[in-house]
Amino acid sequence: MPVAPQVVIIGGGLGGLCAAHGLRRAGIGVTVHERDPSPGHRPQGYRLHLDSRGAGALHQCLPPRLYELFTATAGLPSRRVTVVDERLRELHGVTFDGVSAGGDPATFSAPVDRMVLRQVLLAGLDGVVGYGAEFTHYEHEGERVRAWFADGGSVTGDVLVGADGIGSRVRGQLLPHARIKDLGTRCVYGRTLLGERVAGLLPPRIHEGFVSVRSSRAGLALGLVRPREDPAEAAARLWPGLRPQWPGDYVMWALTVDARELPGTDAERHGGPAARRRDRRLRTADDRLRLRRGARVRAGGDGEGRTSDQRNVPARANAPLERFRPERASPAGSPSARDLAPLRDLLHDTRGLPPGRGLRVDAMSRGVRADRVA
């Protein structure tokens, strides 16, 4: 009798949760260990742009009903990317052909709200995801692997998946030579709730997709998030019991500047006087949103024009690294290669994505080993 394989995933972010669904769908036992004490512990950003590969991975991994919920809560497809100047005059644009409003996101790019997507991904994983579990290191134990946590606890499995984000400790132990590059830019981003007045100030092309405002000193990106169906209604229809947090349609804005243009260090900007000064300035912008010279909008009583909050993050990326080919070994007593084939496929599928984008996982195990290929 083959032994049912057990996979331990570190990190309950987008990649870890998607992988957990895919493994369960393939009949593989899985647990997810997340450092945060709860799913809503910290804000994690707003609009995500999922291209067809990201949505395709969700299509493969999620139970069909949950994928339907993802589709219902995703925004209308991007039909165009437009570049404008500082006065919002169009410079150029790229139009994508063959995109229909009702189509499947797995066939094109679509915006999604990150928190709604996380809630969709968490659905159906009760008892699978554990919180407050800060992974510290792993050890081999015969043909198995043991993951250790900061509270002294541990868990064993046949495969360990490091889905613990850009600062991954799993990767740090497996690939100590891997480096994260600071790209030298800092991004201040936030969202502003949408109403008729705000919508009227935005470049009309924004209804077709992302708009990039080009300027000599900073870049500004604007993107609408308007789900096809109200997330609460879609959840009630497709996954009763799930109550997605949804603030209403909004425009996400992201200002990218050269780090040298900003006062203070990153640490100071995250909590020091410079951060407080920035937050005060941005709070002022809550009440007088200036989208272009002379145009001012007062936040309405309904919250229109209110910038709900904003973040300041360094832009970082994985330095280029050799690709990894999971190898299989089927020692006596361990899961057979056939049992683990779905995991291998999942890793292959997700690894093709560029670093830092989309859904990506790194794997280490005795049964399926990630080996370096030149």
Out of 34, 113, 158, 208, the residue judged to bind ligand FAD by CB under 6 A: 34
| Phi, psi angles (nearest 5°) of residue 32 | -115, 135
* Site residues (CB under 6 A) for ligand FAD, limited to 177-196: 187, 189
CB-nearer residue toward ligand FAD: 133 or 206 = 133
Cβ proximity to ligand FAD: between 10 and 123 the closer is 10
Among 11, 157, 209, 227, interactor with ligand FAD by CB under 6 A: 11
With CB under 6 A as the contact rule, the residue among 68, 86, 104, 134 that binds ligand FAD is: 134
- For ligand FAD, the closer CB: 85 or 279: 279
Q: How far is the CB of 47 from ligand FAD (least distance, A)?
A: 7
SS3 state at 16: helix
User: Which of 30, 218, 34, 203 lies closest to 124, judged by CA?
Assistant: 30
Q: How far is CA 208 from each of CA 135, 199, 224, 227, rounded to the nearest angstrom?
A: 42, 13, 9, 14
Q: Is residue 163 a contact partner of residue 13, using CB atoms and an 8 Å limit?
A: yes
Kind of pairing between the strands at 80-84 and 211-214 = parallel
Q: From CA 202, how far away is CA 224, in angstroms rounded? A: 10
Question: Site map for ligand FAD, 153-172, x if CB under 6 A?
Answer: ----------xxx---x---
Task: Choose between 144 and 360: whose C-beta lies nearer to ligand FAD.
Answer: 360
Q: How far is the CB of 311 from ligand FAD (least distance, A)?
A: 7
For the bound state, the minimum distance from the C-beta of residue 52 to ligand FAD, rounded and expressed in Å, comes to 12
Question: Is 75 an interacting residue with respect to ligand FAD (CB under 6 A)?
Answer: no
Whole-number Å distance between alpha carbons of 214 and 190: 18
Nearest to 374 by CA among 303, 304, 322, 338: 322
For ligand FAD, what does the binding mask look like between residues 295 and 334, x meaning CB under 6 A? Answer: ------------------x---------------------
Segment lying near ligand FAD (by CB under 6 A), choices 4-12, 77-85, 292-300, 331-339: 4-12
**How many Å apart are CA 109 and CA 50, to the nearest integer?**
6
Return the structure tokens found at 252: 């996400």
Q: 53, 255, 356, 366: which one contacts ligand FAD (CB under 6 A)?
A: 356
Tell me, rounded to whole angstroms, the distance of Cα 107 from its chain centroid. Answer: 19
Using the rule CB under 6 A, which residue among 29, 39, 45, 219 binds ligand FAD? 45
**Longest Cα–Cα distance in the chain:** 74
Return d(Cα 131, Cα 35) in angstroms, integer: 6
277 scored as a contact of ligand FAD (CB under 6 A): no
Residue 367 within binding range of ligand FAD, rule CB under 6 A = no
CB nearer to ligand FAD: give 190 or 195: 190
Kindly state whether residue 22 participates in binding ligand FAD, applying the rule CB under 6 A. Answer: no
Helix 14-25 crosses helix 52-61 at what angle (to 10 degrees)? 40
DSSP code of 289? E
Rounded to whole angstroms, the Cα distance separating 18 from 121 reads 7
What is the binding site for ligand FAD (CB under 6 A)?
10-16, 33-36, 45, 48-49, 54, 133-135, 163-165, 169, 187, 189, 313, 356-358, 360
